[in-house]
Structure formats: C-alpha cells, structure tokens
Amino acid sequence: MSANNAFHIAVLAGDGIGPEVMAPALEVLRKIETKSALSFRFTEAPAGANNYLATGKSMPDSTIKLCEEADAILLGACGLPSVRYPDNTEIAPQIELRFIFDLYAGVRPARLIPGVPSPIVGADKRGIDLVVIRESTEGLFASMGKGVVTHDDARETMVITRKTSERLFEFSFRLAERRKARGKPGALACVDKANVFKAFAFFRGIFDEIARKHPDVKTDRLYVDACSAMLVKRPWDFDVMVMENMFGDIVSDITASLIGGLGMAPSADVGDKYAVFQPCHGTAPDIMGQGKANPTGMILSAAMMLDWLADKHGVESAAEAGERIERAVDQIYAGGLKPIEFGGSNGTADITKAVLAAL
C-alpha cells in the first residue's frame, strides 16, 4: 500500500479500445511524476472478454489479489458484444469488482468542458457541472445472474438495504459538502420512484434521516421521470444527485450525453476501502485499432483517482495534480481540439500529445 506520496496502481486495460485509452492515461500520470513529488508503480493484469475466451474466467484470481493489494484500480473498458456467458449476459468485470470490493458509490461527474458541444441550447453560456451518484451494489443489479426465467415469464428482484443506503447517503452528503467548499452549490437531490414502489419510499425515508445530520446541505427529492425531463431542459440547475443502481445506470448516460458523450465522461466506483476508476464508455470494437478512440474520459478518470487518493491518504499534492490534469484538458478543448466523434480530425494520439503539452 501507499508510502507517503508513492502509490501502487493496478492497471486492468480491458478489451476493445480499453488498452488504447489506458496508455494515454498512464502517460499523463508519468508526466505528473516529473512535475510533482508523486510517484506511481503500475502493475498490469488481465480482465475482460478476451481473458474469458482464453481461460473461461473474466478475471484470474491473481488480478483480484492485485486489486486488493493496490492503492487504487484503473480500469479500461471491458466486455465485447460477441462474447457472452452461457446465460447470454456480457462479460463485465467492472460490475463484478463492485460486488467483490463492496464499491457501493458510483460517482459519475458531468462537466461541460469549454469548446465541447452540448445538445442543450444555452449550455455553452450557462455551463453544466453536476455529479450523479449511483448506488452500485444493490438495486435491480443485485439480481444479476440470479433472475428466474421460465417459458412464460422472467423475474428479477430489486434489493435496497438500510446499511448500504446509509453509507451511500453519507458519502453523497460529504461530496456535496466538499463541492460547496470548492465554490459549487453543494446541493443534493434524492432521485427515486417513491410514489409507486415501497422500496423507493424506504430509500427516500433513509435519505431524510441522513439529511437531518447535514443541515447545511440544500436537499431535494425528485421522481426519476421528472428528473430526466428536467435534465434535458435545465441541466445547470443540478449539482449532486443520488439514486438506485438501475436509475443511475440510465441517468448517468443521459448526463454524459449532455457534455459531449461517453468519450468525455469519467467515473469512479468507491467503497470504504477500495476504489475503481474507469471511463463511462464501452469497448467500441468497431473503431478498435484505428487510432480514433477518445482517451479524455480515461484521462479524467485518472484525475478522479488522484483526488480520491488525496482524500484517502491526506496527500494534498495528489488533489492538486488531479486539478492540473483537468485544467490541461480544459485548455486543449478551449484551444480548438476536436475529436473525431465531434466531426473533427483529432484521434487518440493528437489528444494525448495535446494534454501532455498542456501539462
């Protein structure tokens, strides 16, 4: 584990464009080493669909042991549409890691970077800077691999527990408080369907209990359908939102689409002891090996990792390094860099080179 400013990072590059976006993120972190007192030891390990094809397992035991011993885990995109378990579900070590290490808080920031197009009219002037916190171990995903299918019907079960919900809400309120200290609104909305389902009424009730412990955080309660409609009209009205697993899976894709798409979106899955950092996008096998992949989401996920390491280990220089990466990304997009998915000509190498130069 960590010693002062030295951190051991488990690197699981994954499938498809996963290795192609992981390499730039590691280059950026190596650049940070030369500009700070931080140092990193990267240990690469297999995970994903290709490993399943070769061995019959999504991850070997050695990969899980590495993740357990490392200070943080960097994960590239994993899974391939054509490679599936016998029950026809995709290979998804990113989901399996959440259960293995009890990573209950899925953090999905959505910040509109200067120069990046948004489909929302007025977003370039009003800005978008919000965070979706998705519970990542329960909800409907608790039924993963356990559903019952017969000739006549199929049934999955949603699970919401007090223990996990309390930890999730405490995490969410602390994040809102940290954002407020950094000049953000510091407001937190609970997003659910409490008007229809008892489980969500239970979820909201626990939120109300935890809210009383954090009187300085402005709170709101929204139904997920109304929240989704509001997001695509006035996303600048939102700060932090917390919700059940499946709702978070969907809403975080909506928010990513507001800031340029999944290629721009970083994420983290955080528990009490461990954390995984990966881009929100998939493995995109259709562009694999063509140099078209946008590494921005992966690079910003590495910046999130530095911020988490700073908070966990009290190393403020790591938080400063994460902010430097974010500023470098802002600078290159404001300067006119245009990835291929935005109709431009800048691919993986161009984006990587630009970020390194900005640092």
pLDDT per position as a tens digit, 84-117: 988 888 888 999 999 999 999 999 999 999 999 9
Nearest Cα residue to 308 out of 66, 16, 105:
105
User: What are the φ/ψ torsions at residue 272 (nearest 5 degrees)?
Assistant: -70, -25
Q: Is 314 left (phi over 0), alpha (psi -120 to 50) or beta?
A: left
Q: Tell me the pairing of strands 129-135 and 105-111.
A: antiparallel
Contact 54, 48 (CB under 8 A): no
Where helices occur in the chain by DSSP H, the ranges are 18-35, 49-55, 61-69, 93-100, 123-126, 162-181, 198-211, 224-231, 245-258, 296-313, 316-334, 348-358
The confidence score (pLDDT) of residue 137 equals 96
pLDDT per position as a tens digit, 282-313: 999 999 999 999 999 999 999 999 999 999 99
Quote the CA–CA distance of 134 and 105 in Å, as a whole number: 6
Name 346's bridge partners. Answer: 339
CA-CA-CA-CA torsion sign (128, 133, 139, 143)? positive
Quote the CA–CA distance of 179 and 169 in Å, as a whole number: 15
* Statement: residue 131 has pLDDT above 70: yes
The confidence score (pLDDT) of residue 89 equals 85
pLDDT per position as a tens digit, 342-355: 999 999 999 999 99
Report which DSSP code applies to 71: S
Contact 36, 321 (CB under 8 A): yes
- Average pLDDT for the chain: 95
**Which token pair is 32?**
């940070």
Contact 79, 15 (CB under 8 A): yes
**Which token pair is 38?**
């931080």
Q: 296 Cβ partners below 8 Å, 6+ apart?
A: 263, 264, 329, 339, 351
The confidence score (pLDDT) of residue 328 equals 98
Burial of 273 (0-12, 13-18, 19+ CB in 10 A): exposed
* Statement: residue 2 has pLDDT above 90: no
**Which token pair is 12?**
């699981």
**Which token pair is 66?**
């590495």
The pLDDT-based confidence of 4 (bands split at 50, 70, 90) is confident
The mean per-residue pLDDT over the stretch 137-153 comes to 92
The confidence score (pLDDT) of residue 3 equals 53
Quote the CA–CA distance of 230 and 111 in Å, as a whole number: 17
Nearest Cα residue to 9 out of 38, 51, 52:
38
pLDDT per position as a tens digit, 176-189: 999 999 999 999 99
Q: Give the CA distances from residue 32 to residues 3, 20, 75, 337, 359, in Å, rounded to whole numbers and listed in that order.
A: 17, 20, 19, 22, 8
Contact 294, 339 (CB under 8 A): yes
Contact 24, 85 (CB under 8 A): no
pLDDT per position as a tens digit, 59-70: 999 999 999 999
Residue 47, classed as helix, strand or coil, is: coil
pLDDT > 70 in the chain, percent: 99
* Degrees, nearest 5: CA angle 162-163-169: 80
The confidence score (pLDDT) of residue 1 equals 44
